[in-house]
Amino acid sequence: MENSLKFESQKLAINYFTVAAILFGAQLLMGLIAATQFLYPSFLFEIFDFSVARMVHINALVVWMLYAMIGSVYYLLPEETGIETVGIKIGKLAFYVLTAAVTVVVLVYILVQVGPADESTIWLINEGREYIEAPRWADIGIVVVVLVFVFNLFATAMKGKQTGVVTVLMADVLALAGLYLAGMFFTDNISMDQYWWWWVIHLWVEATWEVFVGCLAAYGLMKIIGARREVVEMWLWIEVSMLFGSGILGMGHHYFWIGTPEYWWEIGALFSALEPVPLVAMFVHVIYDWGKETGLKEGEGTHEKTMNNSPAFAWFVTNAFGNFLGAGIWGFFHTLPQVNIYTHGTQFTSAHGHLAFFGAYATILIGMFYMGVQGKNGIKVMKATFDSKMAITLICIGVMGMTVSLTVAGYGQVLVERAQMGATWEAFFVSQDMVWFVQGLGWRLATGIVTFVGFIFLVKDLLTTSKSPRHEI
Ligand code: HEM
Ligand code: HEM
Ligand SMILES: [Fe+2]
């Protein structure tokens, strides 16, 4: 089908979305391998190590989300600023360079797996910092490519119209890119290493990425249900101030036990406990605007459609719920030091990690994939299809199922390994054999498969949706 997008920037966005979706698939496959190895440790023994499957799983996660985020900016930028993206040619070149680099890095992870653990490993194989394990050569390459992206965003915004959404994005993307540097330098003190590493991981997901999602939600509400700009942008500014207000010092919840001074207990407890507040605000914002816009249209008595992209909107609403549940509720559960001393590093952490990354980011970025499909195929009103409904249902049930399974496994660990047996070496192994733990991991694998089936429906829907007769073109 012919591409209906007028702006080169939006065509580039589609490329980013495509690679993002492929990496998402790779992420899930690696998760399934790792989850199988939890139950059957001999699975792929000496062929493909658990540590490698896990590493590729979470690095692919971060990279596909960054791809989808860059894609989202290139997608909305011409619409918000009213002009073609400045520097689009170099932007395209940067895309191919980055994708080639990512391919090499992933192949090295999978084929070489481990190195001699000296400087050459850091430079060529992996850096060993969870979530951002790219070897140093790729680290430097990423910085260069991201600089191109940041330049394009700034140059376009200065030249074109500066809306509130774009202004917030500019500040946010600069902070997001800058923070990456905190995870790049080497120190041989593990406490210091962790101290700085959290600047990337925590300040990404609990500050800059959340603000980014606020921008996407604002843009999506205007595009999909025709929400008024003054209203969504007012919310956006409030959310930004609250997110930064609690998110920055909320980092203290990672400084409880790594050798940092004890005052972090109080700081971390207070500010991270406040973090759910902006997430509630974002939730209320989406639901309120939805209700208001629908009511307005109904009140006018016109038959005009309130919603021009149902699958995207379904994912945006899932985001409002998921962000609140995964980050807000599951995060709050273990954020006080009095609780965290028992739950730290158990499967409970993993339960929160899954639901938060999924609820806060995967959902809204999948929503952006649908916006891209709509634009590319020139669809005026895009409705849900059987496949799109199967996708969202199975993926949500799957991830929620994994979260609940891991929460049960985690509580088993908390009770036996931490509370009863006092966190000894032996306690760890006893709890690993406990029936609740093993069954929890069994259910995680089963619900992981459900998630993967949902993903197949999603890909099918994204690829075929233009041909569906249920769309008004
Ligand atoms: C969308 C936002 C969020 C994402 C994507 C996210 C993700 C994660 C992930 C992946 C981890 C595990 C990190 C590791 O490997 O050690 C983690 C840890 C943690 N998160 Fe979040 N999180 C988010 C928001 C929150 C919020 C709002 C809170 C508190 C209200 C919170 C509280 C915590 C705590 C206390 C830990 C440490 C767990 C431990 O001690 O093992 N998170 N988060
Ligand atoms: C097919 C579905 C999936 C399966 C079977 C799966 C499995 C796994 C496994 C086995 C681990 C290692 C846990 C450990 O070391 O104890 C893991 C970690 C992780 N996965 Fe998944 N996963 C799946 C989907 C997802 C999705 C959809 C997301 C987010 C969007 C996600 C985010 C994460 C994160 C953030 C971690 C690190 C958690 C931590 O260390 O606290 N996974 N996953
Ligand atoms: Fe955090």
Convert the pLDDT of each residue in 140-185 to its tens digit: 999 999 999 999 999 999 999 999 999 999 999 999 999 999 999 8
CA distance 392 to 220: 18
Q: Which ligand is nearest to the CA of 64?
A: 2
For ligand 1, say whether the CB of 200 is within 6 Å of any of its atoms: no
Query: For residue 471, what pLDDT band results from cuts at 50, 70 and 90?
Result: low
pLDDT at 469 over 60: no
- φ, ψ at 309 (rounded to 5°): -155, 85
pTM above 0.95, yes or no: yes
Count of residues making up the chain:
473
CA 413 to chain centre: 27
Between 435-464 and 8-39, two packed helices, what is the crossing angle to 10 degrees? 150
Within 40-135, residue ranges assigned H as helices are 50-81, 88-111, 119-124
Q: In 3D, which of 373, 365, 282 has the Cα closest to residue 69?
A: 365
Give 33-59 pLDDT, tens digit per residue: 999 999 999 999 999 999 999 999 999
Nearest-angstrom CA–CA distance, 384 and 264: 47
Choose the residue to mutate in 40, 354, 396, 456 for probing ligand 2, maximizing ligand atoms within 8 Å of C-beta: 354
- Is 130 near ligand 1, meaning CB less than 6 Å away? yes
Q: What is the pLDDT of residue 297?
A: 77
The response to whether residue 53 sits with its C-beta less than 6 Å from ligand 2 reads no
Residue nearest to atom 32 of ligand 1 (CA): 331
Q: What is the pLDDT of residues 261-300, one digit of tens each?
A: 999 999 999 999 999 999 999 888 888 888 888 888 778 8
Ligand nearest to the CA of 340: 1
Q: Output the pLDDT for position 301.
A: 76
Binding site membership of 206 for ligand 1 (Cβ less than 6 Å):
yes
Closest ligand 2 atom to residue 345 Cα is: 41
Alpha carbon nearest to ligand 2 atom 6, residue:
31
46, 105 contact by CB (below 8 A): no
Q: Token pair for residue 257?
A: 């036990």
State both tokens at 262: 């004890």
Closest ligand to the CA of 202: 3
